[in-house]
Amino acid sequence: MTRSIIATVCAALLAAFAAGPVAAQDKPSLTVGAIYVGSVNDYGYNRAMKDGLEEMKRNIPGLKLIEAENVPESAESERVMEGMIQQGTKLIFATSFGHQQFAFNLAKAHPDVYFEHAGGWMQAPNFGNFFGATQAAWYPMGVAAGKMTKSNTLGFVVGVPIGYALGNVNAFEMGARSVNPAAQTRVVVTGGWSDKAKEAAAANALIDQGADIVTMHVDSPATIIQAAASRNAYAIGFQSIEAAQLAPKFWITGLGFTWGQFMTETAKSVMAGTFKPAMVRQGLGQGMMAVAPFGSAVPPDVRTLVTASADRVGQGFNPFTGPVTDNTGVVRIPAGQAWGGEQMGNFDWYVEGVIGKAK
Amino acid sequence: MNPALIAGIVAGAVMSGTSLLYATLGEIVGERAGIVNLGLEGIMLIGAAIGFAATALTGSPYLGIAAAAIAGAAANLIFAYVVVSRRANQLAAGLSLMFFGIGLSALIGRPFVGALISGLPRLSVPGLAPGGIGARLLSYDSLVYLALPTALLTWWLIFRTRWGLSLRTVGESPAAAFAAGLSPELVRYQALAFAGLLGGIAGAHMSIALTLTWAEGMTAGRGFIAIALVIFAKWNPLWAIAGALLFGGAEGLQLQLQAAGADVSPFIMNMTPYLLTLLVLILWGWRRQSAAPAALGRTFVGVE
């Protein structure tokens, strides 16, 4: 409801800009539109998107970027994007999962405008999609946590227990156990991607149960990192690599999306008329995922180990190579097999060493 | 059950029960004057946003709380004007107030998303080992410590003062109050200003003390839980203390059980607070209610 009100206001503002005089400015080399589901100041998902788009803007002289925040995952988003097209936008980044259908509708109506959607699957000559491959990338985060923990207990706050999120937890625990066989990961599910009060309570509950490092898969890591710091517990971030500044003293490292290079290449392909729709998924070492800078508490040998682990993942190491046993002792991935790609959404179990129930 | 789990459940109940208690106490005073305010959720959001913004701007969480309280009272006075002076339907006006609060708080909070504040400081009982169970149980911010005195003060105000007598009279029968020489309008304005004050503080506790974040819609329905708590508490501030702890505890309990590795599906876990709400309402429903103010929700159109 709120979001639709704001989106209406945004749309009205866009319309006002469109009607205003623009003649004074030089014609931009390319006008790119971007819609965000939340605020770009969230230290999380939307921040990571914003950083990528800013990098694209820096890389291409004369590029004009039109943005709208808090755009709901409803037909409102279609109106906001339509407003952007009215202003001459030739490339639109629809950055939230629920924007997919609305962006796709517009792609059919405007064959001369190109669309890139984050996280979806739809394809058209002028519609592609992209996302970071997160699961294996969590493995080095686990290495960092496994080395840094003194209690051998790690805490993981999960917003919604979808398969991809459980896969993140699993790779994290596998990484931790690779350097510290005693390391366990306790999981708390809050039931929403952005319920701040529950996130704070979940972090506290994990610390009560002995966790000295807390990490998360929610929209914005801000509340959890600060709640952990208030009880002298360390944090590993996710979504944006900028989250360190929330609690520099208690920051270990983090995993973030880095989309700048892909966005730059996409914009250039639109300018050159060579846009090719594709379903792009990239992990560590491939461009779309990166390890955040280390906090001051992390000693050099741990940094070396984590960096080496990240490089290994970048070179194709897959933690989900059998045999992989779940936390009830059942072999889920037999020896000789490996899970990858689309299978990352299929997790409904936790690996050995995770304390929690998946379903 | 390990001691850390029990300490965590209690501390969690106190922390998340605090904002519920302030909101419930405010709503009790308003309803004692005969006004149902379904806009409490909006008032809390305005308090959360303005409290956070003022803290971020001034660096003082205490100024943040003051700003939230004033803003909550001001917003509730708008509601008072609509339902008391303009005699609008309370339910419709309350829902409008809620949507107004959601929109206004989003607008005010927008520039402050991601702002870093040092929240309300926690005051610990001296001499407790840091990280121990004692420190977990006795380390709260000042609004937590003030919640209990506020409940007692509200009880005293309603049941032991002349103003409280006027308040209850207006809530039972505005016409009788008018005949006795009281001004029902004035008493209702005063009651709603007090309710808004507490509602604003309730929201500020969530943003300034609990989460140190502003996010749109962050009260997530707690304003409505507070309205349900008024019925649970039978319009009595002392019962509201128990209710707020119970409902605050229900949410913390399931998160604590998950962290402790309880062998229960997280989907069922996340339902427990609502199951408990239903259970309590069912059990409570068997007793005949006579505590509700007789004129609750009715528009007083005057006696001339």
Q: Which pLDDT does position B251 carry in this prediction?
A: 82
In the predicted model, what is the mean pLDDT of chain A? 92
Question: How far away is chain A from the Cα of B83, in angstroms, using its nearest Cα?
Answer: 24
Beta bridge partners of A280: A130
Q: Rounded to an integer, what distance in angstroms lies between the CA atom of residue A38 and that of residue A70?
A: 4
Residue pair B200/B70 in contact (Cβ under 8 Å)? The answer is: yes
Radius of gyration of chain A (CA): 21
Joined tokens for residue A207: 């610390």
Over residues A340-348, the mean pLDDT reads: 90
3-state SS, one letter per residue, for B244-290: HHHHHHHHHHHHHHHHCCCCCCHHHHCCHHHHHHHHHHHHHHCCCCC
More confident residue, A321 or B299: A321
- Which candidate, B53, B40, B36, places its Cα nearest to that of B108? B53
Q: Is A255 helix (H, G, I), strand (E, B) or coil?
A: strand
Please enumerate in sequence order all residues whose Cβ is within 8 A of that of B127, keeping only pairs 6 or more positions apart, or say none.
none
pLDDT digits (tens, 9 = 90+) for A148-182: 999 999 999 999 999 999 999 999 999 999 999 99
Q: Has residue B219 got a pLDDT over 50?
A: yes
Please enumerate in sequence order all residues whose Cβ is within 8 A of that of A20, keeping only pairs 6 or more positions apart, or say none.
none
Q: Is A58 on the interface with B (CB under 8 A)?
A: no
Over residues A250-277, the mean pLDDT reads: 96
Which helix (H) or strand (E) segment is A328 a member of?
A: none
pLDDT digits (tens, 9 = 90+) for B25-49: 999 999 999 999 999 999 999 999 9
Q: Is A355 on the interface with B (CB under 8 A)?
A: yes
pLDDT bracket for residue B304 (50, 70, 90):
low
pLDDT bracket for residue A282 (50, 70, 90):
very high
Q: Which pLDDT does position B303 carry in this prediction?
A: 63
Cis bond upstream, residue A323 (ω within 30): yes
Q: Rounded to an integer, what distance in angstroms lies between the CA atom of residue B295 and that of residue B292?
A: 9
- What percent of chain A clears pLDDT 70, i.e. is strictly above it? 93
More confident residue, B282 or B22: B22
Residue pair B59/B121 in contact (Cβ under 8 Å)? The answer is: no
Residue pair B79/B37 in contact (Cβ under 8 Å)? The answer is: yes
Q: Which residues of chain A does B103 touch, with a Cβ-Cβ cutoff of 8 Å? A: 2, 5-6
DSSP letter assigned to residue A28: P
Q: Is A50 on the interface with B (CB under 8 A)?
A: no
pLDDT digits (tens, 9 = 90+) for A184-215: 999 999 988 888 999 999 999 999 999 999 99
CB within 8 Å: A189 and B261? no
CB within 8 Å: B113 and A194? no
Q: Is A175 helix (H, G, I), strand (E, B) or coil?
A: helix
Q: Which pLDDT does position B273 carry in this prediction?
A: 77
Q: Is A196 on the interface with B (CB under 8 A)?
A: yes
Q: Is B217 on the interface with A (CB under 8 A)?
A: yes
Q: Which pLDDT does position A19 carry in this prediction?
A: 45
Over residues B196-219, the mean pLDDT reads: 95
Pick the CATH number of B3-114+132-287 from 1.10.3470, 3.10.20, 1.20.1630, 1.10.1660: 1.10.3470
Q: Which pLDDT does position A5 carry in this prediction?
A: 52
Q: Is A209 on the interface with B (CB under 8 A)?
A: yes
pLDDT digits (tens, 9 = 90+) for A285-315: 999 999 999 999 999 999 999 999 999 999 9
Q: Which residues of chain A does B122 touch, with a Cβ-Cβ cutoff of 8 Å? A: 230
Residue by residue, DSSP assigns A38-60 as S-TTSSSHHHHHHHHHHHHHHHS
Residue by residue, DSSP assigns A212-238 as SEEEEESS--HHHHHHHHTTT-EEEEE
Q: Is B220 on the interface with A (CB under 8 A)?
A: yes
- What percent of chain A clears pLDDT 90, i.e. is strictly above it? 83
Q: Which pLDDT does position B172 carry in this prediction?
A: 94
Over residues A126-139, the mean pLDDT reads: 96
Helical spans, DSSP H, in A66-221: 75-86, 100-109, 138-148, 163-179, 196-208
Q: Has residue B67 got a pLDDT over 90?
A: yes
Q: Is A197 on the interface with B (CB under 8 A)?
A: yes
Kind of pairing between the strands at A354-355 and A184-189 = parallel
Preferred mutation among B139, B251, B255 to probe A, highest tally of A CBs within 10 A: B255
Q: Rounded to an integer, what distance in angstroms lies between the CA atom of residue A282 and that of residue A135?
A: 11
Please enumerate in sequence order all residues whose Cβ is within 8 A of that of A302, keeping only pairs 6 or more positions apart, or say none.
A144, A147, A148, A294
Q: Which of B213, B217, B260 sits opposite A2 (nearest CB)?
A: B217
pLDDT bracket for residue A24 (50, 70, 90):
very low
Q: Look up residue B140 and give its amino acid.
A: Y
pLDDT digits (tens, 9 = 90+) for A71-130: 999 999 999 999 999 999 999 999 999 999 999 999 999 999 999 999 889 999 999 999
Helical spans, DSSP H, in B33-183: 40-58, 61-80, 90-109, 133-137, 142-160, 162-172, 174-179
Q: Which pLDDT does position A1 carry in this prediction?
A: 44
Residue pair A43/A246 in contact (Cβ under 8 Å)? The answer is: yes
Q: Which residues of chain A does B117 touch, with a Cβ-Cβ cutoff of 8 Å? A: none
pLDDT digits (tens, 9 = 90+) for B226-264: 998 998 898 999 999 999 998 888 888 889 999 999 888
pLDDT digits (tens, 9 = 90+) for B124-166: 777 777 777 888 888 899 999 999 999 999 999 999 999 999 9
Q: Which residues of chain B does A186 touch, with a Cβ-Cβ cutoff of 8 Å? A: 259, 261
- Which candidate, A201, A221, A194, A230, places its Cα nearest to that of B259? A201
pLDDT bracket for residue B284 (50, 70, 90):
confident
In the predicted model, what is the mean pLDDT of chain B? 91
Q: What are phi and psi of B144, to 5 degrees?
A: -65, -45
- Cβ pairs bridging A and B (under 8 Å): 138
The domain locations on chain B are 3-114+132-287
CB within 8 Å: A205 and B255? yes
Q: Which pLDDT does position A242 carry in this prediction?
A: 87
pLDDT bracket for residue A20 (50, 70, 90):
very low
- What percent of chain B clears pLDDT 90, i.e. is strictly above it? 69
Q: Has residue A16 got a pLDDT over 50?
A: no
Cα dihedral value A347, A352, A357, B2, nearest 10? -160
Residue pair B227/B38 in contact (Cβ under 8 Å)? The answer is: yes
CB within 8 Å: A161 and B266? yes
CB within 8 Å: A198 and B251? yes
Which helix (H) or strand (E) segment is A131 a member of?
A: strand A127-132
pTM of the model: 0.88
Over residues A265-276, the mean pLDDT reads: 96
Q: What are phi and psi of A74, to 5 degrees?
A: -145, -175
Q: Which of B131, B252, B266 sits opposite A201 (nearest CB)?
A: B252
CB within 8 Å: B8 and A161? no
Q: Which of residues 167-186 of A touch B (CB under 8 A)?
A: 186
Q: Is B98 on the interface with A (CB under 8 A)?
A: no
Q: Rounded to an integer, what distance in angstroms lies between the CA atom of residue A117 and that of residue A98?
A: 10
Please enumerate in sequence order all residues whose Cβ is within 8 A of that of B87, keeping only pairs 6 or more positions apart, or say none.
B299, B300, B301
pLDDT digits (tens, 9 = 90+) for B159-178: 999 999 999 999 999 999 99
ipTM comes to: 0.88
